[in-house]
Amino acid sequence: MLSKSQARAFFLGGTIVTFAIFLGLSWTSLTKEVPKRTHEENITPEVIRGKVIWESNNCMGCHTILGEGAYYAPELTKVFERRGEAYIKAALMSKVPWAPRGRKMVAYGFSEKDANDVVSFLKWIGEIDLNGFPPKPDLKQ
């Protein structure tokens, strides 16, 4: 059985060691792993403008990206890989509401430049190393 002072020392020692490990892992993640996985060298002004357009139009209100957002509309993390630039631009530049499979997307009627910026953003998102997320569906069943 530990005395009161031994228990306090054990608690404080464990807390300090755990906190030091946490700081070390955080530093490694932020300075080495995140830049390597996100390919931040590929962030262009078009990608930044695409993200601003994404946020200002509240795309996450319906779509999911990188596992975050709503589940009404399709997951868009790898949409560039699945659908390609022409399909995405057609959906974004459409003057009438886009309604595949009964779900209606707002007709944003983006300009060519805005659509290209959003496509650049989605392309950059799709190139992030996500350790296999989202998983590819097993279509053999």
- Tens digits of per-residue pLDDT, 111-140? 999 999 999 999 999 988 887 776 777 777
Could you tell me the residue ranges of all domains in the chain?
Answer: 1-38, 42-141
With vertex at residue 127, the alpha carbon angle to CA 30 and CA 134, rounded to the nearest 5 degrees, is 90
d(CA 31, CA 118) in angstroms, rounded, equals 27
**How much is the mean pLDDT over the chain?**
89
Q: How far is residue 91's CA from residue 100's CA, in Å, rounded to a whole number?
A: 10
In whole angstroms, give the CA distance from residue 111 to residue 86. Answer: 14
pLDDT tens profile 85-105: 999 999 899 888 877 777 788
Q: Do residues 97 and 8 make contact, with C-beta atoms less than 8 angstroms apart?
A: no
Averaged pLDDT for residues 5-12: 95
User: And the tokens for 119?
Assistant: 């496509």
Our measurement of the distance from residue 113's CA atom to the centroid of its chain's CA atoms, rounded to an integer in Å, reads 22
- The end-to-end CA distance of the chain, in Å, is 57
Q: How far apart are CA 57 and CA 81, in angstroms?
A: 23
Whether 35 has a pLDDT exceeding 90, the answer reads: no
Task: Write down the pLDDT at residue 129.
Answer: 84
pTM value is 0.74
- 141: pLDDT strictly greater than 90: no
CATH number of 42-141: 1.10.760.10
